[in-house]
Amino acid sequence: MLELQRHWLVAPWPIIVWGDPHGDFRENRYRYVGYSKEDESVTNPYFPPDRKGQGPLDGRNWVRRPWENSAVWKAHPDKVKDRQFDNNPDPEIISRLQIGLMWAAWCNGYDFPSMTSDLWKNPQEYVHIYLPPSPGVFGMGVMFHRKADGSIWYVSVPLGPPLPDFGVELTPAERTGKPGDPVTFNLRAYCRDNEQRGDLTLGMQVVVWHQVGSNTYPVSFTLNGVESQVDVSGKLSYVDIWPAPLEASYNTTVTVHVQDVESKVVAEIYPLEKYQGIASLPPVPNPDADVYKRNNQAEARVRPEEPCTDISVVSPYRKPSGDRYVGFNTEIGATVKRANDGPSGPVQVRLTVTGPGGFSKVKTFNLNRGESKKVSYVVQVNKPGTATFTFHAVPVGVEDCAPGNNRATVSFQVKPDPSVPPPESKSWVELISSR
């Protein structure tokens, strides 16, 4: 039985294998670092490649589903013996395989694969996983490409252990205030499952800025006792926390001032990488060290309060005079006025006029500061008596400063039509004689 041992590669991460390094020895490295549980040779991604690659990694003729390809078995019988970890469409596994493809490209002289290629979109179809990753420990995979002469070559694909999850939150989602007023948001930055990976330790960088139109401004804040710095562009503020504990969560507040236009506060978080053995190098942001990137950015809106304006309906400018009759046309009207206040631009006003017999009209128009508008309608009333029409005006999208004066009525008496004779009436007298 092979002895289980931890073998540290000439790389900043650990891998667990069975047995001893073996195979070709070149530039102080073995071709294989050991064996998998199924006795497959575990390739060393840092072993000097037999031939340097050129161009993008996806440009090679990669063998799809190599674990089912007899030519691969024949060419590399020691590399494909067990398929229980292959062709898994789990999104987290695909994410790790994609990172492994970038490692494979870098170690072998290729350019990174195109993100539109099938190799990148479906790496689980090409990479045979014979050593799955586990917490704190890398795994290993291998894929094969066919050359023009029919020979089959392999490339090692290292698989990182489960990646941590970094996230940032801003609450509430929106604040309002008068231009110039300060508004404050709660900021939470966190990471989950942040285990040290050999000599590689992760921290976090939290970045905050205030976006006003196309302009970006830094926002001062303090996180975990560390005051923010302004980046070289002068547009962003950030705090670096390194290292970050396994289950870290930091809370703080950020304050900005309300602008004349709607703006937003934006916060982002990035994993920071630093190798313990290289003290001279500062931590470096690496977005790919995060398993879920959907929660790496948070936004909160800052909206200026719209100043109110006074919309009023002035006493009717046109009130019917003289006798009014059923069925006759009668003109009524009122004046709608906006005070010299509120937003600098025009405000939309909606006027509703209602009256007897189901009469209802709606008219919409704009009024500038201090402007007024006369509105009239010709109406007919079909019943005698008192007819009352109501004019009601309201601003749209802006608060009314004095809503009690935005309604007025027009009333008048309606008489029966004189040209229509009254209904015929009959009367009689019964004479009774008595003797």
Strand order in the sheet with 128-131: 128-131, 139-146, 152-159
CA angle centred on 92, ends 208 and 191, rounded to 5° = 35
Quick one: pLDDT at residue 435? Answer: 44
Q: Are 381 and 325 in contact (CB under 8 A)?
A: no
What's the longest Cα–Cα distance across the chain?
A: 156
- Let me know if 73 is exposed, middle or buried by CB neighbors in 10 A (0-12, 13-18, 19+): middle
Q: Which two tokens stand for residue 166?
A: 């970094």
Quick one: pLDDT at residue 175? Answer: 96
Any idea what DSSP says for residue 185?
E
**250 to 188, 199, 205, 228, 290: CA distances (angstroms):** 6, 25, 12, 14, 18
Matching CATH topology for 166-304 and 311-415? yes
**273 to 100, 241, 247, 388: CA distances (angstroms):** 17, 11, 17, 77
The CATH architecture to which 311-415 belongs is: Sandwich (2.60)
Q: Are 37 and 140 in contact (CB under 8 A)?
A: no
Quick one: pLDDT at residue 7? Answer: 43
C-alpha closest to that of 290 among 415, 166, 179, 400: 166
Q: Are 142 and 152 in contact (CB under 8 A)?
A: no
Quick one: pLDDT at residue 205? Answer: 93
Low-confidence ranges of the chain (pLDDT < 70): 1-14, 50-53, 135-136, 161-162, 193-200, 275-282, 288, 291, 316-319, 420-435
Quick one: pLDDT at residue 1? Answer: 30
Quick one: pLDDT at residue 66? Answer: 93
Quick one: pLDDT at residue 90? Answer: 81
- Domain ranges (residues) in the chain: 4-159, 166-304, 311-415
Distance CA(43)–CA(36), nearest Å, equals: 10
Distance CA(89)–CA(376), nearest Å, equals: 70
Q: Which two tokens stand for residue 90?
A: 């789990």
Distance CA(415)–CA(210), nearest Å, equals: 68
The CATH number given to 166-304 is 2.60.40.3880
